[in-house]
């Protein structure tokens, strides 16, 4: 569904909204459409509709509810990232459930943000602009959840795993959602070398998939979103 819009600037941020609750979609539409720099290109009530919207309208950012019928938000994000590994459309997950396991999955899939639905209009607008600059965005309550998990893990930590400097670099980039080819370009090494390091990391950490690598990176402060700051440094990459 696409609502009528007034004239917009050529550089407007094109946004698609996916949520199975109409009231939530209407609320997001009203929150964002009052800003002249935002264009809502379409709305969807499930993941399949959102994928069709992306094909048709090529949005810059998608706002994606986690719990939707037929294809949920995580499955939809995974499908989007299988088609387009990084970049547009940037993916911001929206949820009323501050659950660490869902956050972990979203990061591993390559989502660019994870926000609680109670964020303010200004915080949401700031998040849209930040992801376009390549930053990952998190609401303050989500950052608090991650900090709590880090503290709990530190208190319960068992054996220490020693990683080389290169392994830490690659682990941080994996947690940021980069592909092996992108990591290779960033570090000026071959994709095969990256894959070798990833295999060593998974063996050392007992990780079965990328989600487990992301979890280790977050819990051990190798990657923590609070270190990636949007223009307003006081926000600490939070909304």
Domains, the chain, with CATH or none: 13-148 (3.40.50.2300), 150-226 (1.10.10.10)
CA distance 144 to 226: 10
Answer with the residue of higher pLDDT: 128 or 163. Answer: 128
Answer with the residue of higher pLDDT: 30 or 176. Answer: 30
Q: Percent of the chain beyond pLDDT 90?
A: 43
Answer with the residue of higher pLDDT: 206 or 5. Answer: 206
User: pTM of the prediction?
Assistant: 0.66
In the prediction, which pLDDT does 7 show?
Answer: 59
Answer with the residue of higher pLDDT: 2 or 36. Answer: 36
Residue 24: pLDDT above 90? yes
In the prediction, which pLDDT does 43 show?
Answer: 96
pLDDT in tens, 115-127: 989 889 999 999 9
Q: Kind and range of the H or E element at 145?
A: helix 140-156
pLDDT in tens, 201-218: 888 887 777 777 776 776
CA distance 114 to 96: 11
pLDDT in tens, 142-161: 777 666 655 554 444 444 56
Note the Cα 60 to chain centre separation in Å. 14
In the prediction, which pLDDT does 228 show?
Answer: 39
Average pLDDT over residues 106-115: 88
Residue 229: pLDDT above 50? no
Sheet containing 38-44: order of strands: 38-44, 13-18, 61-65, 90-95, 113-116, 137-138
Q: Kind and range of the H or E element at 63?
A: strand 61-65
Average pLDDT over residues 8-27: 90
In the prediction, which pLDDT does 218 show?
Answer: 67
CB 108 within 8 A of CB 202: no
Answer with the residue of higher pLDDT: 164 or 93. Answer: 93
């Amino acid at each position: 569904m696409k609502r009528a819009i007034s004239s917009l600037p050529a550089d407007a941020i094109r946004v698609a909204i996916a949520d199975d609750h109409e009231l939530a979609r209407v609320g997001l539409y009203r929150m964002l459409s009052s800003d002249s720099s935002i264009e809502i290109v379409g709305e969807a009530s499930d993941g399949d509709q959102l994928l069709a919207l992306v094909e048709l309208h090529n949005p810059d950012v998608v706002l994606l509810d986690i719990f939707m019928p037929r294809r949920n938000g995580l499955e939809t994000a995974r499908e989007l990232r299988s088609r387009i590994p990084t970049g547009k459309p940037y993916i911001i997950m929206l949820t009323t459930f501050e659950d660490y396991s869902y956050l972990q999955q979203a990061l591993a899939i390559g989502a660019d943000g994870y926000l609680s639905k109670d964020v303010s209009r200004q915080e949401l607008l700031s998040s849209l602009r930040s992801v376009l600059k390549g930053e990952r965005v998190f609401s303050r309550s989500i950052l608090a959840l991650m900090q709590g998990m880090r503290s709990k893990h530190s208190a319960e930590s068992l054996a220490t795993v020693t990683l080389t400097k290169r392994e830490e670099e690659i682990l941080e980039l994996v947690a940021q959602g980069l592909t092996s080819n992108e990591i290779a370009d960033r570090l000026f090494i071959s994709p095969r070398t990256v894959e070798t390091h990833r295999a060593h990391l998974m063996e050392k950490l007992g990780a079965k998939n990328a989600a487990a690598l992301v979890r280790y990176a977050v819990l051990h402060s190798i990657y923590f979103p609070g270190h990636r700051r949007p223009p307003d440094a006081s926000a600490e990459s939070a909304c």
